[in-house]
Amino acid sequence: MTRNKRRLLLLSSSRTAGTEYLEHARDYLRSFLNARARTLLFVPYARVANGYDDYLARVRANFAAIGYEVTGLHSVGDPVRAINEAEALVVGGGNTFQLLHALYTNKLIAIIRQRVLAGMPYIGWSAGSNVACPTICTTNDMPVAWPERCEALNLIPFQINPHYTDARLPGFQGEARAERLREFVQANPKVPVLGLREGSALRIEANDIQLLGLYTARLFTYAASREVTPHEPLGFLAADN
């Protein structure tokens, strides 16, 4: 199986300041889907509170605004078959540990990976972007559930930190986000991390990677960390380690 057919749109967040739910991403979504799929399969498993149906309704309304139908994976009798037949997969945000736990429990890791690497479009935000990585070790979430293991879908060979921020609360004595991510790359020197700020996204087509949005992202490697700018070539991140 080759990675050369993968198509992913990985959003940092479902919203950004001053916008409604997924509003900031509508142009990204239209361009990415480009009428290649009309019915999308939504994975709501990252939701911990308020139920999957409410989550599906919110996502369905937003995709309907740009001309797409959405079916919830939780509402089908055979999730594996549904993914195997899906035109495109949408994985929502919430708690990353809960999401990965559900993917393992429902035995969906292998089939999702197989379909996406074969070309099925994959859209994720927040936790949905985290699980596209080799592991979920750079999530910001607390482990409200324990997945079978921390290894995730491994659709890309680098890590993402969604909701990345340089902000630090006055009087806060714990480690800042950048310090935590520097710890990760020191402990895992072969695995870079890209910190995606709110409103940003990555579009991945085979080994081509574009940073979308108005903001820079923070790239952490074992050697150093630096800012990367929108539309800067990022294909070097796509090479398998």
The residues carrying an active-site annotation are 126, 141, 163
The C-alpha atoms of residue 89 and residue 92 are separated, in whole angstroms, by 10
| Amino acid, single-letter form, for residue 54 | D
The whole-angstrom distance between residue 93's C-alpha and the CA centroid of its chain comes to 8
Is the backbone of residue 219 left (phi > 0), alpha (psi -120 to 50) or beta? beta
| H-state helical runs in the chain | 26-33, 52-64, 79-85, 96-105, 109-117, 127-130, 177-187
For residue 31, which phi and psi values (nearest 5 degrees)?
-65, -40
Report the DSSP beta bridge partners of residue 190.
none
* 228: three-class secondary structure by DSSP: strand
3-state SS string for 170-225: CCCCCCCHHHHHHHHHHHCCCCCEEECCCCCEEEEECCEEEEECCCCEEEECCCCE
